[in-house]
Chain A
Amino acid sequence: MSRSYLRTGAIAAAVLALGATAACSGSSSGGSTGGATTKSAAYNAALDGIVNASDKKGGTLNYVASGDFDSLDPARTYYAYSWNYQRIYQRTLLMFKATPGNDGAQVTGDLAKGLGTFSSDGLTVTYELRDGITFQDGTPITSADIKYALERSFAEDVINGGPGATYLKPVLVGGESYKGPYKDKAGLASIDASDPKKIVFHLSKKFSDFNYLMALPISTPVPQAADQGKNGGANYQFHVVSSGPYKVETYQPGKLLTLVRNTAWKQSSDPNRKALPDKIVLTEGLDPADMDQRMLAGSADLEVEGTGVQPTAVATILRDPSTKKNSDNPSTGFTRYISIQEKVPPLDNVNCRQAVQYAADKVALQGARGGPIAGGDIAGQMLPPTLPAYKKFTQYDSGSDNTGDLQKAKDALKACGKPNGFSTKIATTNKGKGPKVAIALQAALKRVGINAQVVQVDASTYYSGFIGVPSNVHKQGLGLAVAGWGPDFPTEYGFFESIVDGRAIKQAGGNSNYSEFNNPKVNDLIDQALATTDVSKRNDLWGQVDHLVMEGADYLPFVADKALDYRNPRLTNVYISKAFGMYDYVNIGVGS
């Protein structure tokens, strides 16, 4: 079972506009039922409506998971489901709207009254905090607490694993040299918390996606006093202080997380959350097949990792209509693709890359991911269908049955001077669906004489240390790599920036542009799109990026990722969050 490694994206320097649109999204008016459709249980009902809408309070939720959060410390967590789960009991400056449909991809004010106000030069952003916001012990939350939380993510030698420093360093004045509050007592001057009800950021460059940054867990307030001594620093994750409707009662890493009501939380200060259940119990470390069995039997409510059920449960659910109506098949927002490294010969020749594109058997690749329902729809382009600029097209036709166009592949091989094929390597993780994808690709390429050897590496090393280090890729000749990508925030910029922008290539490591694709025209289009406020013009520009990226032949997308999720019929207010591609945990309650 693969864990959803988070849609990641290092936000590079950018110019405007995306944030402006988000800023237009308006209010933080109460309740997630504002304007959203309510539905009764049916297959895929939760994709665009709220199933079992209810305001009934009380009860205990029984969630299950097979793994553990990467960390409970908001500055150190990176998994998608962890970010989603934190919204239950932690408040951030802004948050993704708790509503189904496309609105769920918009941000709204959580601790802040609304989105940030940008100065005319775009280098200062101000947020006003709401009244009545408190920590779990009743202490009021001030801007200083948010400032401290952001500062501690700079202490990478203690607070490791999260994206905070990577995002904030290039964006905040003085960020590059700040080493965190443990070493640098003076603090980061560019975060101004002099007014306890206002927080002001001084940016080193225009960055209109800043609102999205503030919707991430890194802006969860942390009381400085709680971050000291043996319960602070790297150990804060075992003693987190809550700002939302619930607080941590028990945390046994890998086993149990129990949340109970935070009596200091005031509903009047939080129009986004309903806080219906009295208690939320998450049992971790369970066998995936066991979890499915429990959910189907009704003894577990929801599997929170959002990666979908196992093959056995897929069969059970799809074959039985009474079970099928309790399931949904959302798009997770990921695109699964093969990265074709253009610096590894003979794939430095675009025709050889095209040969790979044509020879790939997309049906087999889709099958390796789990088939049309558990895996996703066959994709012919990089942009996922969940984003506004998506317009369907297929660059490299894989034949009428999508198993590959061998003739075109052979022609391409001739054109690149390798009529009998060539040898290369396919890199993949060693567990989950990755190896299956690699094997499917290997078998498909063999048909035209391309001999690819499969190389497997543990997931913990694979991205940042194996295919994410360009020199390693060259040295080991990793011509092909199994990859997947989902945006950190549901925007085209969030999706494309780290993986296709040539300026985002990190030679030293942690690189996400595995193929080292660098097309100046694409880079320019990205800049233009960021500067455009007109939505249709912007979509058009991103569409051009999508086309150019595919023409370069460095990217072989094969599946627009989906998962088959199951919801216990006793749950209320269940819907899919567009921001996370899985059920939104914020307002789920217990029915009768």
Chain B
Amino acid sequence: MTAPLDVEPSALDADPDAAISAESAKAVEGRSLRQIAWMRLKRDKVALGGGVVIVLLILTAVFAPVLVSLLGTPPDVPHGNLIDQTFQIPKGSFGGISTKHILGVDPTFGRDLFARIVYGARISLLTAFLATFVTVLIGTVLGITAGYFGGWVDGLISRVMDILLAFPLLLFAIGIGAVIVVTDRPILGLTGTSLSVAALIFIIGFFQWPYIGRIVRGQTLTLREKEFVDAARSLGASNRHIIFKQLLPNLMAPILVYSTLIIPTNILFEAALSFLGVGVRPPTPSWGQMLSDAVSTYQIDPTYMVVPGVALFLTVMSFNLLGDGLRDALDPRAGR
């Protein structure tokens, strides 16, 4: 069925149930998929909870310096007096929790753990978001190209995807990360922590685009055969118009869903690389690196292991909850 011009074409045409509800909705007031999805999402309390946590996390990361000056001490300032020198763990129970250090301090150095967690959030979120952006960008562009143009273009891109998917991803990430960690010459004008972060974004983003590329390609292939594309073409629309105005909007839903599902994976990926020592280098705080440090002392200072672990857990879980909620909200057939 044709959609009114001021409402975006949707994927609802495939489902009679949804079409009927859209018809009845039209009778009252035209609602776009976006509005319907938002309504559904609002009703999903759990997903909303996840969303709220994410917003809080982002705010925490953005306003890290302010938070730390209010609630803790700078993340790289050591407090030797808070450490038991013989055992090199924080004095006091629960890793040295006090009013001055609300999450305690880290072993050996006595740096404020709250501050390190907050700054670690920056690294986690920044790397994950940017890497996801890179993945989605490359994946969408190449996926659409392959699906729409077909032929040898599709063949080439599909082969490249196959090759990249065949790589043992973690090993390659470690290999490249290990080199970057060692390199001290500026690459593209970046050094030190920014180079590490840029390299992480590249590694995590680059090797994963085939996952989304495949999905976008598949969807493009399906959509390409739909009537509205034929109609647009017969009206003389250029490829560019078709791709940007017809296909892309219909791909937004799956792209969005997969983005929210890839972000938590990327958060865990960065943490894993940092855990293995090929992520950001100290003293930049990173949750994964804290867990790696905790391995030798977790039996006598369990707090230092639990805090970053829980931080990772809550972050990833929130994204998963939101992602699930988004998927349910955008999928017209689910959740009844």
Do A and B come from the same complex? yes
User: Are B296 and A443 interface neighbours, CB within 8 A?
Assistant: no
A367-B108, A454-B281, A456-B281 known; A372-B85 Cβ under 8 A: yes
User: Are A439 and B192 interface neighbours, CB within 8 A?
Assistant: no
Q: For the complex, give the distance between the alpha carbons of A436 and B87 in Å.
A: 15
User: Are B87 and A367 interface neighbours, CB within 8 A?
Assistant: no
Whether A176 sits at the interface, judged by CB under 8 Å, is no
Among A288, A367, A443, A476, contact of B77 (Cβ-Cβ < 8 Å) = A443
Whether B109 sits at the interface, judged by CB under 8 Å, is yes
15 extra interface residue pairs, beta carbon distance < 8 Å, beyond A373-B86, A435-B282, A461-B182 = A289-B296, A314-B86, A367-B83, A367-B108, A371-B85, A371-B88, A403-B80, A430-B181, A436-B109, A438-B282, A439-B109, A443-B78, A443-B283, A446-B76, A454-B283
Chain A 438-453 near chain B by CB (<8 Å), digits 1 or 0: 1110110010000001
Whether B238 sits at the interface, judged by CB under 8 Å, is no
Whether B67 sits at the interface, judged by CB under 8 Å, is no
A454-B282, A454-B283 known; A367-B88 Cβ under 8 A: yes
Q: For the complex, give the distance between the alpha carbons of A289 and B295 in Å.
A: 9
CB distance from A288 to the nearest CB of B (A): 8
Q: For the complex, give the distance between the alpha carbons of A455 and B88 in Å.
A: 24
Whether B89 sits at the interface, judged by CB under 8 Å, is yes
Whether B248 sits at the interface, judged by CB under 8 Å, is no
Among A443, A454, A458, A461, contact of B109 (Cβ-Cβ < 8 Å) = A443
- What are 8 contact pairs spanning A and B, CB under 8 A? A311-B296, A366-B85, A367-B108, A367-B109, A438-B282, A439-B109, A442-B76, A456-B282
User: Are A314 and B109 interface neighbours, CB within 8 A?
Assistant: no
CB distance from B291 to the nearest CB of A (A): 15
List 3 tightest A-B contacts by C-beta distance, closest first.
A312-B299, A443-B78, A315-B300
User: Are A440 and B78 interface neighbours, CB within 8 A?
Assistant: yes
Q: For the complex, give the distance between the alpha carbons of A415 and B86 in Å.
A: 37
Q: How large is the interface on A (under 10, 10 to 19, 20 to 34, 35 or more residues)?
A: 35 or more
Whether B23 sits at the interface, judged by CB under 8 Å, is no
Whether B17 sits at the interface, judged by CB under 8 Å, is no
User: Are B88 and A431 interface neighbours, CB within 8 A?
Assistant: no
Q: For the complex, give the distance between the alpha carbons of A436 and B109 in Å.
A: 9
Chain A 341-369 near chain B by CB (<8 Å), digits 1 or 0: 00000000000000000000101101110
CB distance from A327 to the nearest CB of B (A): 13
Dominant SS among interface residues on chain A: helix
The size of the chain B interface, using a CB distance under 8 A, is: 26
Please give me the residue from chain A that is nearest to B111 by CB atom. A443
Chain A 299-332 near chain B by CB (<8 Å), digits 1 or 0: 0000000000011101100100000000000000
From B181, B184, B277, B296, name the one whose CB has the most chain A CB atoms within 10 angstroms: B184
User: Are A440 and B109 interface neighbours, CB within 8 A?
Assistant: yes
Among A311, A435, A440, A443, contact of B87 (Cβ-Cβ < 8 Å) = A311
Residues of B within 8 A of A373 (CB): 86
Among B87, B283, B297, contact of A371 (Cβ-Cβ < 8 Å) = B87
Whether A370 sits at the interface, judged by CB under 8 Å, is yes
Q: For the complex, give the distance between the alpha carbons of A454 and B283 in Å.
A: 8
User: Are A453 and B192 interface neighbours, CB within 8 A?
Assistant: yes
Residues of A within 8 A of B83 (CB): 367
Whether A550 sits at the interface, judged by CB under 8 Å, is no
User: Are A368 and B192 interface neighbours, CB within 8 A?
Assistant: no
Residues of A within 8 A of B282 (CB): 435, 438-439, 454, 456
A372-B86, A458-B178 known; A363-B296 Cβ under 8 A: no
Interface residues of B in 40-78 (CB under 8 A from A): 76-78
Whether A457 sits at the interface, judged by CB under 8 Å, is yes
Chain A 450-493 near chain B by CB (<8 Å), digits 1 or 0: 00011111100100000000000000100000000000000000
Interface residues of B in 198-248 (CB under 8 A from A): none
Please give me the residue from chain B that is nearest to A461 by CB atom. B182
User: Which residues of A are at the interface with B, using a C-beta cutoff of 8 A?
Assistant: 288-289, 310-312, 314-315, 318, 361, 363-364, 366-368, 370-374, 403, 425, 430-431, 435-436, 438-440, 442-443, 446, 453-458, 461, 476
Please give me the residue from chain B that is nearest to A446 by CB atom. B76
Residues of B within 8 A of A289 (CB): 296, 299
A367-B108, A456-B181 known; A311-B80 Cβ under 8 A: no
Residues of A within 8 A of B296 (CB): 288-289, 310-312
Q: For the complex, give the distance between the alpha carbons of A371 and B297 in Å.
A: 14
CB distance from A441 to the nearest CB of B (A): 11
Residues of B within 8 A of A476 (CB): 184
User: Are B86 and A442 interface neighbours, CB within 8 A?
Assistant: no
User: Are A312 and B86 interface neighbours, CB within 8 A?
Assistant: no
Residues of A within 8 A of B107 (CB): 311
Q: For the complex, give the distance between the alpha carbons of A289 and B299 in Å.
A: 10
Q: For the complex, give the distance between the alpha carbons of A554 and B108 in Å.
A: 26
Please give me the residue from chain B that is nearest to A466 by CB atom. B182
CB distance from B319 to the nearest CB of A (A): 30
Residues of A within 8 A of B87 (CB): 311, 314-315, 318, 371
CB distance from B115 to the nearest CB of A (A): 14
CB distance from B324 to the nearest CB of A (A): 37
Residues of B within 8 A of A443 (CB): 76-78, 109, 283
Please give me the residue from chain A that is nearest to B185 by CB atom. A476
Residues of B within 8 A of A374 (CB): 88
Q: For the complex, give the distance between the alpha carbons of A454 and B277 in Å.
A: 14
User: Are A311 and B86 interface neighbours, CB within 8 A?
Assistant: no
CB distance from A487 to the nearest CB of B (A): 28
Please give me the residue from chain A that is nearest to B292 by CB atom. A431
Please give me the residue from chain B that is nearest to A478 by CB atom. B184
Residues of B within 8 A of A438 (CB): 282
A443-B78, A454-B282 known; A371-B86 Cβ under 8 A: yes
Among A367, A446, A455, contact of B184 (Cβ-Cβ < 8 Å) = A455
Q: For the complex, give the distance between the alpha carbons of A403 and B110 in Å.
A: 14
Please give me the residue from chain A that is nearest to B88 by CB atom. A371
Chain B 261-292 near chain A by CB (<8 Å), digits 1 or 0: 00000000000000001000111000000000
Q: For the complex, give the distance between the alpha carbons of A431 and B278 in Å.
A: 11
Chain B 173-184 near chain A by CB (<8 Å), digits 1 or 0: 000001001101
Among A370, A430, A439, contact of B88 (Cβ-Cβ < 8 Å) = A370
A311-B87, A454-B283 known; A364-B109 Cβ under 8 A: yes
User: Are B300 and A431 interface neighbours, CB within 8 A?
Assistant: no
Q: For the complex, give the distance between the alpha carbons of A493 and B87 in Å.
A: 35
CB distance from B182 to the nearest CB of A (A): 5
User: Are B182 and A457 interface neighbours, CB within 8 A?
Assistant: yes
CB distance from A456 to the nearest CB of B (A): 6
Please give me the residue from chain B that is nearest to A442 by CB atom. B283
CB distance from A403 to the nearest CB of B (A): 7
Residues of B within 8 A of A453 (CB): 192
Residues of B within 8 A of A461 (CB): 182
